[in-house]
Each structure stands twice: as C-alpha cells, then as structure tokens.
C-alpha cells in the first residue's frame, strides 16, 4: 500500500541523489540504518497487531535516530563511541529480531 | 509418526550442515597460505606478475598450437617443419642476441660528465627495460644477453668485458611508452643517473636497429638434460 | 492476536521471557488506547478512524516511510560508493591471486605438453633430410644459448634468506648477486627452480620475489651451472658476494654457497618477440 510505495520511493531517491556523505556523518550511518530497519519492522508488526499509527511511526523513527546519535556522540566525547555505537546497534537489533518474530507468528502462526 | 521422522531428519541435516560449516571455516582461518599475510600492494604486484605470465603462456600455447597445425597439415610436411624450425630459430636468435633485430623502441642517451654512474645503475636500467617488455637491448656496442654482466666501478663501467665509454647510447626494442615510463618512475633510472650528475635523454622511435651481436659460447659444463 | 501460543515445555522459561519486554514501541499501544477511549469502549479496535485523523495518519505514514527509505537509500549508496573496506578488497585480491596461480599452473602444464609435441613433430618431419638436420642443429644450439632447454651439470647452490623479522633482501640485491654470478662465468642460472632466460626479470612483491613473473618465496635458492671451483673463486671477488657478506654481518642474513655435483635446471620459457624482427646482418 502507500507506505510501501513511499518506502521504495525513498530508497530510490536516496540512491539516485548519490550524495557525498561527509566524513563526520559516517559513524552514525550504521545506527541510522538500524533505527530505520527497526522502525519499518515495528510499523509492520503494529499494522499486523492492528494498532498502527502513522504519527507514532514517524516520531519513533526520528527520535530513535536522534537519541541514538546523541548517545554515540556523547560516547565519542568520553572515548567509548565505538562501544556505545555497538550497544545501540545490538539493542535495536534485538528489537528488530523480536518484531520480526512477532510478524512471523502473525503470518505463519509458527 | 511420519511427522516426527521428518522433523528429526531435518534437524539431523541442519546439524550436519552446521558441523561442516564450522569445520570449513576453522580450516580456512587456519590455512597457512602465506597469501593471507601479504599486504594489498604486494598482492597487486603478485597479481600483475601472474597475469603477465598468464598472457605469455597463452601466447606460447597459441604459437605451439599453430606450429603443430602447420607441422601436421597434410601435404608437404617437411617444408612446413623446416619453415617452422627456421621461424623459431629466428625468434630465439633475436632473444639470445645472435641475430640483428629491428622494431619500435627507445634510443637512450646516457651522459656521465662527473663519472658518477655505477655498474649497478646500468644493471638497473636493463632490468627495468626487461620488466617493461624490452625484447632486445644493446648498451653501447654490446648486445645484452641472458649472461650479460656489468662489472667495473663507478665511472668505469665494464659490460661483458668491454669498457663502456660515456656518452653511451642504449637501444631497446619494445613498446616505447611502456619502457619510457619504466625508466622515468620516481627513484628510477633517470632519477638515479641525474642525481649522480649524469643525464638521460630518451627518444621514442618507430624503428630502432640493434646490430651488435653476441658471440655464442659453447657451454663447457651445462649439457642438455634428458 | 498479539499473545503467542506458548507451548507447554517453554512455559517454564516464563521468567526469562519477562527479562525481555515486549519490544514493540510503546507508542503504538498508547495511540491505540487513546483511539479506543476517543471512540468509546464499545467500538471495535479496528474501526476506521474519522477522516481528518485518517488523512493526517496517511501523511505521517508517507513522510515516515520516505524518511526511512531515504536513510536506507543513502546508506546503501554510500556503502557502494566508498571503496570496500580494506579487508574486503584484500580478500578479493587474495582470491584473485589464488585463481591466477591456478590458471598459470594449468597453462604452464599445457604449454609444456604442447612444446614437447611440437619438438617431436619437428624431429619426425626433418630427420633424415640434410637441410632439415642442419636446421634442427641450428635450432638446438640456439635453444641452448637462449636457455629454452633443460640443462644439467655441476656448479654452485647459493641460498639466501632473511635472518630476522625484517625484509632486507630485495629484488635489487638478488639482481646484483645474479649479475655477479654471470660475471663469474656461469653457464645457466635458476632462482627458486625458475630458469633465467633473456627476458626473465626478478621483481619484488612484498615478502616474495617474482622470478620470470613466478612467485618465489624465501629461502631463495640460486642454482648455477658452471665450473664449481672457478665459479666460487671468481664469485668471492664480486660486488654481489661482498654485498651479501655484509648483509650477513649487519642483518644476520643467511647466505651460503655450496658446491653441487649435479644440478638440473628446467627450460626457460621466454615469450617470442612480437615487436623485434630479425634483420639480415650487415
């Protein structure tokens, strides 16, 4: 439906724009990607649970990215940036798997 | 009953696959191939060398196959064989330095007013030319062969027993731009000679005539094997 | 249907499951609860929300999906644009080198077989004919001079290897040593089992050396056919020998020269000249 279309359009635009990502953004790309995946899967699961809300989708994605970036930024200042980045990715990753499992139960009942 | 069997089989297969994967991965990590330790730039040189060799081998195979076809073609076999033998002899003669040769290449003038050029510098030059694909080289009046040797000392270079006098002309047959580039690399032959107070002038030519010949010495100790 | 059916045995793991909270963003549950309270407790949870609300929902969804897509797209593009991590590139190179080695080994075998075939065919066709025999004879002498035939005889075996951790023996050093060997009267030379011929090179590639474009690892074994005693005597006076003698003292490089009664060196495989053509001499 329209969400998937918008998602695909976003991906294609991102690829087509071919922006040169500045050096300082580089370390935050992985967490942005993981937050994006988390938002997508969370949204899908909410949809299947019947409680999807568009505003929550946007807010949760943006806030996750911002908060994760702030955590990593703080970590960089303290010298543990790489470790915190890993921690963020791990936590979001767990969420991704949990939501994926829930989706799987919805779709396959297994 | 059948359901349990299927599940058991699946589990067994998956465990087997996992075991194989672990074993393979461990073996790959431990494999003592020194290649894994090489730096990327060294791997590039290795790869380049191997690719050159591959190209040379392919050419060789093509030539040998063509020769075989010529030799085995029905008709006047001995004439074909003779032509083939002579063709191969000519090629080897050019390589060995027993025949005059001509072709595109470089004319290199080396001057050494301060007598600072060493035998190893000229040795270097010949090696660089060879690496750049030179097929025949002449230094001064001496044809370079597989057993050519530079002796003497700085400013008094001797090649195969012949004293070389500066200014010196080096002739090389091969691809002109490639050979010129090889001599001009930073820290290469041109740099070294110029730092020793000498000069190098490279001219690319469509035709270079190499007329110096090597005298063939019949080996005293080396005999064809088998 | 958000409550999964937990099989009997797994219910014992309840405490474990409580450690991991239900990981869906709590915002969804709250939004759903809010909607339910707005619509009244009697309305079904999946009832269509009012039109205004639906439109702003749609907008939010589209904006969100676009943002997510943009992030994924940019990251993917960036990952593709950047050079792959050094490790990945290196691993790719290692694979390439392995493949190239395999290919050259195969081709080398093939070439050897074909060369033998050509030689046999030649001999067959030319033997018994005076002109043919003469041509064959010339060919054989040239092969010997150019190093394209395997030879055997007495001589020297020189072994060179780095003493410590650092790579000190370079292609340049080997070239100087080989130059000295030729100057001492060598008749045939091979490094690491690779015969030197008129267009063979000795080039550096990290810890290994390419002899005639063939990777050769340490210790470098230089086999020389010639008069063993004479070779050795003359070699000791040469620049190459002096250089390596110094290396032994300064860097602990391994450098041994021993007499060999019988060495067999393989045939060299130079590429036939492509640009140089034989010219009739003056």
DSSP C19-86: HS---S-HHHHHHHHHHHHHH-TTS-TTSPPPHHHHHHHHHHHHHHHHHHHHHHHHHHHHHHHSPPPH
- Mean pLDDT to the nearest integer, B17-33: 69
Does A16 map to a domain? no
Does B7 map to a domain? no
Closest CB to B82 among C131, C172, C199:
C131
Put simply, the answer to whether B173 touches C276 (Cβ < 8 Å) is: yes
Contacts of C66 (CB under 8 A, 6+ apart): A6, A7, A9, A10, A13
User: For B1-18, what is each residue's pLDDT tens digit?
Assistant: 555 678 778 888 888 888
Q: Is B143 helix (H, G, I), strand (E, B) or coil?
A: strand
Q: Is B162 helix (H, G, I), strand (E, B) or coil?
A: strand
**Quick one: closest CA in C to A45, which residue?**
C24
Instruction: Give the pLDDT band of residue A50 (cuts 50, 70, 90).
Output: confident
User: For B181-216, what is each residue's pLDDT tens digit?
Assistant: 999 999 899 999 999 999 999 999 999 999 999 988
Q: How much is the pTM?
A: 0.62
Domain count, chain B: 2
- Mean pLDDT to the nearest integer, B92-104: 95
Q: Indicate the class that CATH gives domain C151-265.
A: alpha beta
Return the pLDDT at C158.
Answer: 96
Question: Of C177, C187, C188, C180, whose CA–CA distance to C234 is shortest?
Answer: C180
Is B105 in the same domain as B200?
Answer: yes
Q: Dihedral sign for Cα C254, C260, C264, C268, please.
A: positive
Burial tier of C182 (Cβ tally within 10 Å: 0-12, 13-18, 19+): buried
DSSP C223-254: EEES-HHHHHHHHHTSHHHHHHHHHHHHH--E
Return the pLDDT at B226.
Answer: 66
Does B21 map to a domain? no
Strand partners, B168: B110
Put simply, the answer to whether C28 touches A21 (Cβ < 8 Å) is: no
Does B3 map to a domain? no
Instruction: Give the pLDDT band of residue B217 (cuts 50, 70, 90).
Output: confident
Three-point CA angle B48, B50, B56, nearest 5°? 105
Is B203 in the same domain as B117?
Answer: yes
Put simply, the answer to whether A51 touches C32 (Cβ < 8 Å) is: yes
Strand ranges for C126-174 from DSSP E = 151-161
Closest CB to C4 among A5, A53, A105:
A105
What does each C-alpha distance from A88 to A29, B17, B58 come to in angstroms? 12, 32, 54
CA C94 to chain A, closest CA, distance in angstroms equals: 28
CA C62 to chain B, closest CA, distance in angstroms equals: 42
What does each C-alpha distance from A32 to A17, A20, C7, C198, C267 come to in angstroms? 18, 16, 37, 60, 61
Which residues in chain B are closer than 8 Å to C188, comparing Cβ atoms?
219, 222
Is B163 in the same domain as B206?
Answer: yes
Which residues in chain B are closer than 8 Å to C156, comparing Cβ atoms?
none
- Upstream peptide bond of B167 is cis (omega within 30 degrees of 0): yes
Does B188 map to a domain? yes
Any idea what DSSP says for residue C211? E
CA C96 to chain A, closest CA, distance in angstroms equals: 30
**CATH number of B125's domain:** 3.30.70.1880
* Residues in C 177-206 with any Cβ partner in B closer than 8 A: 179-180, 182-183, 186-188, 196-206
- Burial state string for C183-220 with b = 16 or more CB within 10 A and e = fewer than 16: bbbbbbbbbbebbbbbbbbbbbbbebbbbbbbbbebeb
Q: Dihedral sign for Cα B147, B148, B150, B156, please.
A: positive
Does A11 map to a domain? no
pLDDT < 50 positions in chain C: 1-2, 19, 282
Is B87 in the same domain as B166?
Answer: no
CB C268 within 8 A of CB C212: yes
User: For A55-99, what is each residue's pLDDT tens digit?
Assistant: 888 888 888 888 888 888 888 888 887 888 888 888 888 888 888
pLDDT at A14 over 70: yes
Residue C264, chain B, CB below 8 Å: the answer is yes
CA C40 to chain A, closest CA, distance in angstroms equals: 16
| Cα distance between residue C226 and residue C170, in whole Å | 25
Put simply, the answer to whether C68 touches A105 (Cβ < 8 Å) is: no
**Percentage of chain A with pLDDT > 70?**
98
Residue C168, chain B, CB below 8 Å: the answer is no
| Cα distance between residue B189 and residue B168, in whole Å | 14
Question: Of B167, B188, B166, B180, whose CA–CA distance to B208 is shortest?
Answer: B180
Put simply, the answer to whether A42 touches C24 (Cβ < 8 Å) is: yes
* Chain C adjacent subunits, 3+ CB pairs under 8 A: A, B
Closest CB to A6 among C32, C66, C73:
C66
Put simply, the answer to whether C62 touches A3 (Cβ < 8 Å) is: yes
- Host domain of residue A65: 25-108
Put simply, the answer to whether A57 touches C67 (Cβ < 8 Å) is: no
| Cα distance between residue C80 and residue C76, in whole Å | 6
B/C interface, count of CB pairs below 8 Å: 303
CB B42 within 8 A of CB C206: yes
| Cα distance between residue A40 and residue C217, in whole Å | 53
**Quick one: closest CA in B to C145, which residue?**
B96
- Host domain of residue B177: 101-210
> What mean pLDDT is reported for chain B?
87
Instruction: Give the pLDDT band of residue B83 (cuts 50, 70, 90).
Output: confident
Does A85 map to a domain? yes
CA B111 to chain C, closest CA, distance in angstroms equals: 23
**Quick one: closest CA in C to B153, which residue?**
C239
Contacts of B144 (CB under 8 A, 6+ apart): B97, B126, B136, B137, B138, C198
Does B11 map to a domain? no
Return the pLDDT at C89.
Answer: 77
The last residue of one of the domains, among B58, B73, B96, is B96
Enumerate the domain spans of chain C.
14-78, 90-137, 151-265
Closest CB to C24 among A50, A94, A99:
A99
In the numeric block, the tokens 């080997």 are attached to C174
Domain count, chain A: 1
Which residues in chain C are closer than 8 Å to B147, comparing Cβ atoms?
182, 186-187
* Residues in C 8-37 with any Cβ partner in B closer than 8 A: none
Token representation of residue B163 = 């004293």
pLDDT at B32 over 50: no
Is B65 in the same domain as B144?
Answer: no
Burial tier of A61 (Cβ tally within 10 Å: 0-12, 13-18, 19+): buried
Put simply, the answer to whether B78 touches C210 (Cβ < 8 Å) is: no
Is B51 in the same domain as B75?
Answer: yes
**Quick one: closest CA in C to B212, which residue?**
C281
| Cα distance between residue C215 and residue C206, in whole Å | 10
Does B141 map to a domain? yes
Does A66 map to a domain? yes
């Amino acid at each position: 439906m329209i969400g998937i279309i918008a998602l695909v359009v976003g991906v294609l635009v991102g690829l087509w724009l071919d922006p040169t990502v500045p050096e300082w953004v580089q370390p935050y790309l992985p967490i942005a990607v993981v937050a994006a995946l988390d938002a997508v899967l969370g949204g899908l699961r909410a949809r299947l649970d019947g409680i999807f809300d568009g505003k929550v989708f946007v807010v949760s994605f943006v806030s996750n990215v911002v908060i994760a970036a702030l955590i990593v930024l703080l970590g960089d200042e303290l010298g543990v940036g790489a470790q915190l980045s890993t921690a963020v990715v791990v936590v979001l990753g767990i969420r991704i798997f949990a939501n994926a499992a829930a989706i799987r139960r919805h779709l396959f009942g297994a | 009953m059948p359901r349990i069997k299927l599940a058991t089989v699946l589990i067994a297969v998956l465990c087997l696959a996992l075991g194989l994967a672990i074993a393979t991965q461990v073996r790959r990590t431990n494999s003592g191939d020194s290649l894994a330790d090489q730096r990327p730039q060294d791997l590039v040189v290795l790869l380049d060398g191997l690719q050159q060799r591959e190209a040379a081998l392919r050419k060789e195979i093509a030539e040998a196959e063509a020769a075989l076809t010529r030799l085995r073609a029905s008709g006047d076999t001995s004439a074909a064989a003779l032509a083939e033998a002579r063709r191969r002899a000519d090629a080897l003669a050019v390589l060995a330095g027993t025949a005059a040769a001509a072709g595109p290449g470089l004319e290199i003038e080396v001057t050494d007013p301060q007598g600072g050029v060493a035998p190893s510098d000229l040795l270097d030059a010949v090696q660089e030319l060879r690496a750049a694909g030179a097929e025949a080289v002449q230094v001064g009046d001496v044809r370079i062969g597989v057993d050519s040797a530079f002796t003497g000392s700085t400013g008094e270079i001797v090649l195969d027993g012949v004293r070389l006098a500066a200014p010196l002309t080096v002739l090389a047959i091969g691809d002109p731009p490639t050979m010129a580039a090889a001599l001009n690399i930073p820290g290469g032959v041109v740099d070294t000679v110029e730092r020793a107070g000498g000069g190098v002038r490279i001219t690319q030519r469509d035709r270079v005539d190499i007329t110096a010949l090597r005298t063939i010495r019949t080996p005293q100790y080396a005999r064809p094997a088998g | 249907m958000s409550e999964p059916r937990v099989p009997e045995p797994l219910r014992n793991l309840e405490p474990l499951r409580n450690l991991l909270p239900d990981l869906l963003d709590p915002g969804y549950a709250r939004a759903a609860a809010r909607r339910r309270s707005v619509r009244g407790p009697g309305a079904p949870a999946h009832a269509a929300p009012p039109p205004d609300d639906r439109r702003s929902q749609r907008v939010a969804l589209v904006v969100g999906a676009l943002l997510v897509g943009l992030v994924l797209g940019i990251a993917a593009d960036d990952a593709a644009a950047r050079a792959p991590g050094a490790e990945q590139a290196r691993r790719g190179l290692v694979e390439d080198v392995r493949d190239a080695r395999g290919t050259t080994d195969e081709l080398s075998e093939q070439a050897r077989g074909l060369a033998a075939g050509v030689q046999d065919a030649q001999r067959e066709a030319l033997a018994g004919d005076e002109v043919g025999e003469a041509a064959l004879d010339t060919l054989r002498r040239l092969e010997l001079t150019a190093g394209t035939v395997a030879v055997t005889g007495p001589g020297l075996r020189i072994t060179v290897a780095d003493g410590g951790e650092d790579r000190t023996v370079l292609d340049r050093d080997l070239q100087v040593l080989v130059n000295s060997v030729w100057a001492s009267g060598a008749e045939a030379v091979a490094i690491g089992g690779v015969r030197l011929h008129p267009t063979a090179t000795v080039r550096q590639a990290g810890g290994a050396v390419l002899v005639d474009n063939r990777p050769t690892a340490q210790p470098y074994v230089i086999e020389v056919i010639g008069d063993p005693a004479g070779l050795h005597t003359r070699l000791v006076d040469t620049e190459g020998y002096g250089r390596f003698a110094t290396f032994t003292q300064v860097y602990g490089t391994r450098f041994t020269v021993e007499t060999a009664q019988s060495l067999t060196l393989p045939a060299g495989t130079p590429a036939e000249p492509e640009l140089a053509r034989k010219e009739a001499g003056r």
